[in-house]
């Protein structure tokens, strides 16, 4: 269905960080910080626009587990989800970028 669906199915390789039945966290191939993870639901949802409260609630818990696994929960991190054309979303399978491991520049 999309490259992240292929990645979930193991058709393309990834460096996994954490996985459960419904979600996967893996390293971004083009890291924009010392730590740059991508967090996705295994079900194909195009963007935040199509997210449901139920999936979002479960994903919240999973993202917190990823932050713990990466050891960045206390020092802090940034979550970004790009949405649509103006948001510069390249891969049309919702993903949260988790950036961490250093002092990040201020965006907003």
Q: How many residues does the chain have?
A: 108
The answer to whether residue 95 is catalytic is yes
SS3 105: coil
Can you tell me which of 5, 51, 55, 104 binds Zn ion, judged by CB under 5 A?
Answer: 5
- Binders of ligand AMP: how many residues, by CB under 6 A? 13
CA distances to 35, 44, 52, 64, 88 from 69, rounded to whole Å, are 12, 24, 25, 9, 28
Instruction: Show contacts with ligand AMP in window 79-108 (CB under 6 A).
Output: 82, 88-91
Q: Which of 44, 73, 78, 97 binds Zn ion (CB under 5 A)?
A: 44
Could you tell me the CA-to-CA distances from 98 to 1, 14, 61 in Å, in that order? 24, 16, 14
- C-beta closer to ligand AMP: residue 21 or 90: 90
Q: Which residues in this chain contact ligand AMP in the complex, by CB under 6 A?
A: 3, 7, 12, 14, 28-30, 38, 82, 88-91
User: Catalytic positions, please?
Assistant: 95
């Amino acid at each position: 269905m999309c490259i992240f669906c292929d990645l979930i199915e193991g058709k393309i390789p990834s460096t996994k960080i954490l996985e459960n039945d419904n979600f996967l966290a893996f390293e971004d191939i083009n890291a924009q910080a010392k730590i740059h993870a991508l967090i996705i639901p295994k079900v194909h949802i195009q963007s935040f626009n199509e997210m449901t409260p139920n999936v979002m609630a479960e994903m919240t818990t999973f993202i917190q587990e990823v932050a713990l696994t990466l050891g960045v929960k206390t020092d802090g991190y940034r979550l970004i989800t790009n949405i649509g054309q103006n948001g510069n979303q390249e891969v049309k399978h919702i993903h949260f970028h988790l950036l961490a491991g250093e002092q990040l520049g201020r965006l907003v």
